[in-house]
Structure 1
Amino acid sequence: MSSIPSLLRDRIAATPDDEAYRTPSDGGWTSLTWREVGEQVRGLALGLAGLGCGPGKRVSILSSTRLEWILADLAVLATGAATTTIYPSNTAAEAAFVITDSGSTIVIAENDDQVAKLRSVQKELPGVTHVVVIDGTASDDGWVVTLDSLQGPEDGDYEGMVDAIAAGDLATLIYTSGTTGRPKGVELTHDNWLHAAGGVRRMDLISRDDLHFLWLPLSHSFGKLLEIVMIDIGVPTAIDGRLDKIAENLGVLKPTFMAAAPRIFEKIHNTVVATVRREGGIKLRIFNWARETGIRVSRARQREAPIPLTTRIEYALADRLVFAKLRDRFGGRIRFFVSGAAPLSMDIAEFFDAAGLPILEGYGLTESSAGSFLNRLESVKFGTVGPPLPGAEVRIADDGEILIGGRGVMRGYHGLPEETAEALEDGWLHTGDIGELDQAGRLRITDRKKELIKTSGGKYVAPTYLEGRIKAACPYASHVFVHGDRRNYVTALVTLDMDVAGPWARAESLPEDPERLREHPRMREEVQRAIDQVNADEASYATVKKFAILAEDFTVETGELTASLKIKRKAVEERHGKILDAFYEG
């Protein structure tokens, strides 16, 4: 096949009556077969074509993760147009930038609130002819139409539109989160996506017997890749982007695998640890013993070392008393999780593996179609992102930078030839990440090339590594920001996860107000204990000497996090500069 719509057509022909998607409906779930998906996509595609959608056009999607996002995306692609993605959390100004920079003529918006956002900047969107609203009402001026009203003619030439799409045609424009600088539009072709998805298929990791639970933002390249992979293999996907429903949905759906960003695994881990700490007594002792036993087994498996009979007996008891109950929280059928978008702490990975819930960490950039490396179930090595996916190529430059090659690498940055030439120098994608390959060809990422801290003593420190370890050691921490570039020692800012810290404070008769709790000696003791634990394993120059607990968490809305929940280091330094400077006074 040469395009994503032709891939969908092949899937419908191969398994027309198999379940394709499951979506929330009236307190339950409704299923669609691949044949039904094909019928809906055909109708939407012909309707969009009637609005002027077609080859060379761009359509922006401004919506959270839901079935209609995928149907709209597939319909846009079927016309020969390309999709531009916008996070629903983006401000009106941010959305306007993506729409105008991409040249989108149609915007598909989730609801009336998103339409209102677009209305507030309508004068800045002269090229937008229509807004198509999923859950909302049409406008009297004709600018806003409903998704349900988009049904093309029965005799429309859908097959002709699909046949006309070439592998090298633009499929997606995804704007990078922009931890530094303004977002850049990454141009990804149909062939880019098909190549990346094919690499996952060739791993034989998942099959049509699996059930995939998708909540990740489809505006992100990771979510988009999952969309294509499931069509390629024919895996049914349950879709619900509501974060507050993840735990409930896992119990109801009983999926076999799920992908997530590390923040989700950190939050689950911290909630479990904080809960057993509050209960204390025999439950806490059993939990700690089970955890230690499970991690011994996990590390032995990673070394491919034999596990003594006594350890196997202990682990079976630990599994019955602790780990089986944890697996039940996720529906009892999870075979593995996939983690991407940011580094995963090895402490978190080993805890989940000990519980029989292995997390396969992967790595890729939007510029490499999201998927370039992934650990294998049979040879997982925590602390690495695994070997390259089939078809992906890797080189380590002289300065340690990771370079990626292969058909998954982007066509370029939209309208930015100089930035494209710099990123694709010598035909390789320069990732900006530092890493190394082990003897088995697995990649270990040490840090961002541009984010390494160099102390005034000339020593390099990897901040994200320390941040991940501190978060794993302190269940009450939401985010950790390690600072110290051109300073004489390393310091940290810590924010509280009040979903976890609140119940602990209440149980300990401590203030539940974040402003008062952050200053309480007991709270500082908990954070100091975690930092001391991490410091014990680090060289002196990499240890955190001072820290402050903030009353407010880092958020996307305050500009301290990207839409994919990565810390914007420059923004944090600017907003909390006085606190950081005070660490080094006197």
Structure 2
Amino acid sequence: MPTDDREYAANIPVMIRKAWEDRADRTVLRYTDDDDAWHDLSGAEAQALVNAVAKGFIARGVQPADAVSIMARTRYEWSIVDLALWSVSALPVPIYDTSSASQIDWITSDSEVSTIVVETAHHAKLARSVAADSESPLTHVLVMDEGCIDDLIAAGREVPDAELNRRVELAGHDDVATIIYTSGTTGRPKGVELTHYNYVRHTVGIQQELGPVLLSEGASTVLFMTLAHSLARLVEVVLLASGTVIGYCPDSKKLVPLLGTFKPTLLLAVPRVFEKVYNSAEQKAAAGGKVKIFRWAAKQSIEYSKAQGTPRGPSPMLRAQHAVAYRLVLSKIVDVLGGNARWAISGSAPLGDRLGHFYGGLGLHVMEGYGLTEVNAASHVNRPDVSKIGTVGKVLPGMEARVADDGEIMMRGEMLFRGYHRNPTATQDAMSDGWFATGDIGTIDEEGFLTITGRKKEIIVTAGGKNVAPAVLEDRLRAYPLVDQCVVVGDGKPFIAALVTLDAEALPGWLKGKELPEMTPAEAAAHPVVREHMDRAVSRANKAVSRAESIRKYEILLEDFTVDNGYLTPSLKVKRTQVLKDFADRIEDLYLTR
């Protein structure tokens, strides 16, 4: 807790109310209609809408500390409902919009949710199937697409302002603000309890460290990461409290055109998005017979970015080559990103040096970060003025980090969660003398920059006793345009191998660039030219490790890993345990012959 409580707002809605009062006549939120045209809400308009919906929840009987779930894509109504619930001192519990009925059942039962706000008729059908169970606490299903926002506003018209203002002030620093359920790569998701102080303290620290990114005149971003994820949720709160203009993109397929019309100054994405932009640009160049020019330009971008980090800077020759590359190729990618993007924050997985420097050469400063739900999503991030590509930056204010003797990253501080909901045993197991055991392994250099090298539970020990962190190989192999997912295997085996899936979206352009006929992913997996190029991709990935750690054999799977088939979490992390279990026979086949 702070020694001086006056430094921090009393709770989340009080903090955001103040930000919107300061921007009463300026745009704070933007959303699109069916024609993808942008519509703006000023601070005063957004606050009035939140207040009206909050009164509706009061009228509907939502009490302080009641848990209410939100299940929707990333649309502006998500934030309105979120803030409305906080404004009545309720406890929003997010649910991924891709969740199944059983997942909805578990989360609503564990957190005792009686009301859920969903987006679509499909979501409503799932939720109502859960509510039909007599043992479920779920009784009310409100549907955005069926006008529940207007219904709440109408229901709350008679609720006096004084009652809402009283509710806004009720929650204090120690009160739980939300329960966020981990996406669960193994076992049932655990509910992480985060307090109002976890958010208001974190917001102040992030604003302090990322001021030029968040607080500069005209700062804006398109939010498309699912708000059920802890990182997107933290980002939502920080952006709202900073006055950074948020544009909402519910449909990721529309992201590129919406970036073009919104023109954000800040990009927030997972590494896979940055990889997709690069790969699609390369495939487009290949289809037009200009792949050599693209790769030359990409090399200039990378070399230019690297040189900018040296005392002497880029040489006159490199500056001239970069200028040509920018004019011919790189400027087109800048335009795809909207033309105004200067900053980018990447989290959830390693980005890698190559992409970090590639975008750096475009004039986009990509700041990698790191964190877990249990430390309120972000414990580390590179700064606008002090960054090291390849690291996830230094620890944020209010947090401490150290590396245990076995390499595990341990953390403690003011953003640390209160505990797992109704699970004291799991909470105790995750802690050691006040330090939270992250499960990740890494190193901290003499300047305090953290580098993540893998997951502790995912370390592979070969039959020869070699410890291998699979993330290094997986990240490099996924960087190849044709690869969608990769799982490195070899625990207890004589050598390292890999399961690979093909990127169905990138495949047509890749085939065209190689002057190959159209084919399905299954046909491509067996094609000798595809195998030849995959061999090269594996060889390039192997250059990052020793021979004992290198991939000796691989198998191209005919089935991709998706959220729907259970091999990806909603935050797009591979469920390694499930993959290893379901493809055990395929893995064994890799070791039958040498």
Q: Which TM class, normalised by the smaller chain length?
A: over 0.9
Could you tell me which residue of structure 1 aligns to residue 297 of structure 2?
A: 290
Instruction: Please give the alpha-carbon distance, in whole angstroms, between the structure 1 residues aligned to 2:433 and 2:462.
Output: 32
Are 1:172 and 2:172 matched, yes or no?
A: no
Where do residues 39-58 of structure 1 align in structure 2 (5 Å cutoff)? 39-58=48-67
Alpha-carbon contact 1:323-1:356 (below 8 Å) kept: no
Measured against aligned partners, the alpha-carbon deviations of 1:449-496 in whole angstroms (never above 9, x if no partner) come to 111111111111111111111121x21111111111111111111111
Residue 12 of structure 1 and its aligned partner are, at CA, apart by: 2.6
Counterpart in 2 of 1:321?
Answer: 328
1:476 pairs with 2:469: no
- For structure 1, which segment, 571-580 or 151-160, has the greater mean C-alpha deviation from structure 2 after superposition? 151-160
Deviations 1:166-208 (A, max 9, x none): 1111111000011112100000011101122212100113214
User: Contact 1:490–1:542 (CA<8 Å) still a contact in 2?
Assistant: yes
Give the conservation status (yes or no) of the 8 Å contact 2:131–2:139. no
2:507 paired with 1:501: yes
**Where does residue 514 of structure 1 map in the other structure?**
521
Q: Equivalent residue for 2:401?
A: 394
Of the three residues 103, 121, 127, the one matched with 2:130 is: 121
1:108 aligns with 2:113: no
Gaps of 5+ in 1: 139-143
Cα distance in 1 for residues equivalent to 2:533 and 2:517: 13
Matched, 1:259 2:258: no
Note the C-alpha offset of 1:406.
1.5
Match of 1:182 in 2: 188
Residues 111 and 133 of structure 1 are in contact (CA less than 8 Å); yes or no, is this contact kept in structure 2? yes
Q: Could you report, residue by residue, the CA deviation over 1:74-109 in whole angstroms, capped at 9, with x for unpaired residues?
A: 011111111111001010111111011111111011
Which stretch shifts more, 390-399 or 484-493? 390-399
Asked whether the equivalents of residues 345 and 465 of structure 1 are also in contact (C-alpha less than 8 Å), the reply is: no
Shift of 1:429: 1.6
- Given that residues 347 and 469 in structure 1 are in contact (C-alpha distance below 8 angstroms), is that contact kept between their aligned partners in structure 2? no
Distance, in Å, in 1 between the alignment partners of 2:360 and 2:123 is 40
Give how far 1:511 is off.
Answer: 4.2
1:201, 1:232 within 8 Å by CA — same for their partners in 2?
Answer: no
Query: Is residue 2:535 matched to residue 1:528?
Result: yes
Residue identity opposite 2:506 in structure 1: V
- Deviation larger for 499-508 or 83-92: 499-508
Matches within 5 A, 1:37-116: 37-116=46-125
What's the offset of the Cα at 1:151? 2.6
1:137 and 1:247 map into 2 onto residues whose CA distance is: 29
Give the distance between the partners of 1:578 and 1:379, measured in 2 at CA: 48
For 2:582, the equivalent position in structure 1 comes to: 575
Q: Number of paired residues?
A: 578
Counterpart-to-counterpart distance in 1, 2:311 and 2:124: 55
Q: Which residue of 2 aligns with 1:361?
A: 368
Deviations 1:426-464 (A, max 9, x none): 112211111111122110011111111111111111111
For 1:316 and 1:392, how far apart are their aligned partners in 2? 42
Q: Aligned partners of 2:386 and 2:328: how far apart in 1?
A: 27
Gaps spanning 5+ residues in structure 2: where? 1-8
Q: Report the CA distance between 1:378 and its aligned residue.
A: 2.5
Are residue 442 (structure 1) and residue 449 (structure 2) matched?
Answer: yes
Question: Which residue identity is paired with 2:288?
Answer: E
Which one of the candidate residues 18, 22, 38 is aligned to 2:30? 22
Residue in structure 1 matched with residue 243 of structure 2 by the alignment: 234
Matches for 1:406-485 after TM superposition, within 5 Å? 406-472=413-479, 474-485=480-491
- Tell me how far 1:299 sits from its aligned partner: 1.6
1:161 to 167, 177, 192: 167
Please give the secondary structure, in 1, of the residue aligned with 2:94.
Answer: strand
Identity of aligned residues (%): 37
The TM-score normalised by the length of structure 2 is: 0.94
Paired with 1:416 and 1:495, the residues of 2 have a C-alpha distance of 37
What is the match of residue 151 of structure 1? 156
Distance of 1:391 and 1:90 partners within structure 2: 33
Aligned to 1:135: 145
Distance 1:66 1:304, change over 3 A: farther
Counterpart amino acid of residue 81 in structure 2: A
Is the contact between residue 302 and residue 380 of structure 1 (CA under 8 Å) also seen in structure 2? Answer: no
1:9 partnered with 2:12: no
Q: Which runs of 4+ in 1 moved over 6 A?
A: none
**Cα shift at 1:305:** 4.3
Measure how far apart 1:110 and its partner are.
0.7
Give yes or no for contact 2:58–2:88 (8 Å, CA) kept in 1: yes
What amino acid is aligned across from residue 290 of structure 1 in structure 2?
A
Aligned equivalents of 2:204 and 2:157: distance in 1? 32
Matched residue, 2:218: 209
Distance 1:343 1:485 in 2: 22
CA contact (8 A) 2:128 2:141 kept: no
Please point out which of 258, 262, 268 is paired with 2:277: 268
Compute the displacement of 1:551 (Å): 1.8
Contact 2:130 2:136 in 1 (8 A): no
CA distance in 1, matches of 2:153, 2:564: 32
Q: What amino acid is aligned across from residue 153 of structure 1 in structure 2?
A: E
Give the Cα separation in 1 of the matches to 2:296 and 2:59: 64
Aligned: 1:378 with 2:419: no
Residues 75 and 533 from structure 1, CA distance in 2 versus in 1: closer, same or farther, beyond 3 angstroms?
A: same
**Residues 1:295 and 1:145: Cα distance change in structure 2 (over 3 Å):** closer
User: What's the CA shift for 1:356?
Assistant: 2.1
Q: Report the CA distance between 1:284 and its aligned residue.
A: 2.8
The Cα of 1:146 is off from its aligned counterpart by 4.6
Q: What's 1:312 paired with?
A: 319
Deviates more, 1:213-222 or 1:420-429: 420-429
- 1:344 equivalent to 2:351? Answer yes
Tell me the equivalent position of 1:247.
256
Alpha carbons of 1:318 and 1:137: their partners in 2 closer, same or farther (altered >3 Å)?
A: closer
Q: Distance in 1 between matches of 2:68 and 2:271?
A: 30
CA contact (8 A) 1:198 1:232 kept: no
**Aligned to 1:117, what secondary structure does the other structure show?**
helix
Q: Give deviations 1:105-137, integer Å, cap 9, x for gaps.
A: 110111211111112222336322321111126
Return the match for 1:192 from 195, 198, 206.
Answer: 198
Deviation at 1:521, TM superposition (A): 0.7
Equivalent-residue separation in structure 2 for 1:505 and 1:476 (angstroms) = 10
1:147 Cα shift?
4.6
The CA deviation at 1:509 is 3.2
TM-score, with normalisation over the residues of structure 1? Answer: 0.95
Q: How far apart in 2 are the matches of 1:26 and 1:511? A: 34
